[in-house]
Amino acid sequence: MRVGAHVSIAGGVDNAVERQLDVGGNCGQIFTHSPQVWRDPDIDDGEAERFRAGTRERLDGPWVIHSSYLVNLCTPKDDLRAKSVDSMQKEVDAAAQLGVEYVNVHLGAHTGAGTERGLANAASALDELDVPDGVTVLVESDAGSGTKLGGDFEHLATVLEASDQDLDVCLDTAHAFAAGYDLSTATGVENAVREFDDVIGLDRLKCVHLNDSKHACGTNKDEHAHIGEGLIGEEGMRAIVNYPDLRDVPLVLETPNEDGKGFAWNIERVRELREN
């Protein structure tokens, strides 16, 4: 079972390996810099080598780099598009430097341009990237609030089909739930997975952000809860982690650190829910 968490790179990206081990993870996710600002990754060769060696020797992998929250691939604004493409290029280059397989990105918001135009903008922006060998961009499912795209599986499928890049998908369970896919029961999980397979294809699913939700299905509200303690709940989480077609997909947690529970508690909870 590959399960881990989003951990900090404070003090050097190589520190993420030890932090992952400390919470009981064997794969995981990082930011290469603060996701709230436009900033380039600043990783020296020594850090990168220590990160690669630590990962190779001590973790199962994979790692995912999560792109900046400021990136908006759907935008109709030329300046924001240019910044977004530049930021993504820096992230895929950092992934190659670190030996990281995946760079994860939200499609963003069309801000009035409309769904069709926004999705076309996202596909063409991704096509501007020079993605190094061994790195794949994952488009992430979204909660779908406002003009944000990616809440509907069809949005993701449209971008995958329209882009010339070899793209895959990261499914966030809290986002999918917020967007209207009811994952709170075994039947709901079955229906959602089958729809994902029909619309996108399970072969394109390379990572699951495993998060419970503090808000109800279909509310478009994105706020994560501890595993089994949100509105997806224990039944839904158990169904997800044991669903046959999902058992080999890496699970990365972005659960909160509150109520005396952090990543270690949540990762252990996932392992308790997993049936051999």
What is the distance, to the nearest Å, from the Cα of residue 181 to the centroid of all Cα atoms in its chain? 17
User: If residue 185 lies in a helix (H) or strand (E), which one and from where to where?
Assistant: none
CATH assignment of the domain containing 131: 3.20.20.150
Measure the CA–CA gap between 150 and 225, rounded to whole angstroms: 21
What are the Cα distances from residue 55, in Å, to 27, 191, 202, 222, 226? Answer: 9, 36, 26, 31, 26
Place of tokens 């971008």: 159
Q: What is the residue type of 259?
A: D
- How big is the chain by its Cα radius of gyration, in Å? 18
So what's the pLDDT on residue 72?
Answer: 98
pLDDT digits (tens, 9 = 90+) for 53-69: 999 999 999 999 999 99
Write out the residue range of the structural domain in which residue 165 sits.
3-273
Is there a contact between 41 and 79 (Cβ–Cβ < 8 Å)? no
Q: What is the pLDDT of residue 76?
A: 98
Give 10-residue mean pLDDT values along the chain (276 residues): 98 98 98 95 96 98 98 98 98 98 98 98 98 98 97 98 98 98 98 98 98 98 98 98 97 97 98 94
Cα–Cα dist 237/241, whole Å: 6
Q: pLDDT at position 226, please? A: 98
Number of domains in the chain: 1
Q: Rounded to whole angstroms, what are the CA distances from 147 to 66, 109, 125, 196?
A: 21, 5, 18, 22
Name, in order, each residue with C-beta under 8 angstroms of 51's C-beta and a sequence gap of 6 or more. Answer: 13, 14, 16, 17, 98, 99
Res 153: pLDDT:
98
Residue 160 has φ and ψ, to the nearest 5°, of -60, -40
pLDDT at 276: 78
- Give 229's Cβ-side CA count (13 Å radius): 14
